[in-house]
Amino acid sequence: MPNSLADHYHQGLRDQDILTQLRAHYPDGPTLHQLAPLDQLHVGGIAASARLLGLLDHSASQVLDMGAGLGGLMRQGAALGLHITGLDITHRFSALNDAISQLAAKPPAPLSSAGTLRCVTGDARALPFRDACFDAVLFQHSLMNMPAPHRVLAECRRVLRPGGQLVMHEVVSGPHCEALRFPVPWAEEPTHSHLLTLAALTQRLQTAGFDIRHCEDWSDTALEWRQRQRQKEQAAHAAVLSPQWVFGERFVQMGKNLLENLANGAINVVEISARC
């Protein structure tokens, strides 16, 4: 993946300011909900992450989060006792993810049930992991940034144990994809947007050796959520944390375009669970 994708995510990122803000406002460590405006940057926020994690088998323990970003999904999964490795091609995201996890409040739970977290910088097309080492692989608004999805899914199949799960909460091309407006959070312009149609995505999964067990269109709920978020973003008071700490002032237009893209059918949001 070209370095300019990392540049897209680096451009407005306020690494040290974010850590200073967290220490100042949350001296006992921020909770998952307090972090959500910063580290749950996908459509649906923390509730969508809960839905995604709820699709996992109870027996799943070792989990790979593909395109982990700032780690909201990872920390939410670790609070449930999962051992999660987060992979991201943007090293500053991986480093900040790890730093936030060090500051975050630890949920009250017996030590034996506590999950663990590991951040790795790497390319999804050539995963730096041995064969059959994960019980599950998660995608949350990340495949859309990845060229060569056939290679990415083949790598997922390789690192999954027999019978392992692949679970997705993804943005796909909608029926009016020609109306897609940029910039959006995952791309300044079309170069880094690799949206598939749902039909193409399911075909890619099947070709890679996955059996699709669950597929649900989540677009109506996603639109309602984004409308509520837009109202919050337009409020006059300054939030402790917001997506602007990651994207800068660009997020004002990105957020507006995201809402319009959902409303006009340029994009859809889907949940998928598959097994190898």
Q: How confident is the model at residue 234 (pLDDT cuts 50, 70, 90)?
A: confident
31 in any annotated domain: no
- Domain, as residue range, for 87: 3-25+44-104+113-275
**Average pLDDT over all residues of the chain:** 93
* Mean pLDDT lowest among 105-109, 111-115, 207-211, 224-228: 111-115
CATH number for the domain harbouring residue 216:
3.40.50.150
33 lies in a domain? Answer: no
At CB < 8 A and 24+ separation, what contacts does 220-224 make?
Answer: 221/44, 221/269, 222/43, 222/44, 222/262, 222/269, 223/259, 223/262, 223/263
30 within a domain of the structure (yes/no) = no
Which residue type occupies 271? E
- What is the mean pLDDT of the segment spanning 140-149? 96
Give the span between the Cα atoms of 32 and 75, in whole angstroms: 7
Answer yes or no: is 172 within a domain: yes
Flag whether 205 is in a domain: yes
Provide the whole-model pTM: 0.94
Q: Is residue 190 part of a domain?
A: yes
Give first-to-last CA distance, the chain, whole Å.
26
Q: What is the pLDDT of residue 2?
A: 42
The domain tally of the chain equals 1
pLDDT digits (tens, 9 = 90+) for 186-219: 999 999 999 999 999 999 999 999 999 999 999 9
- Whether 32 is covered by a domain: the verdict is no
In a domain, 85, yes or no: yes
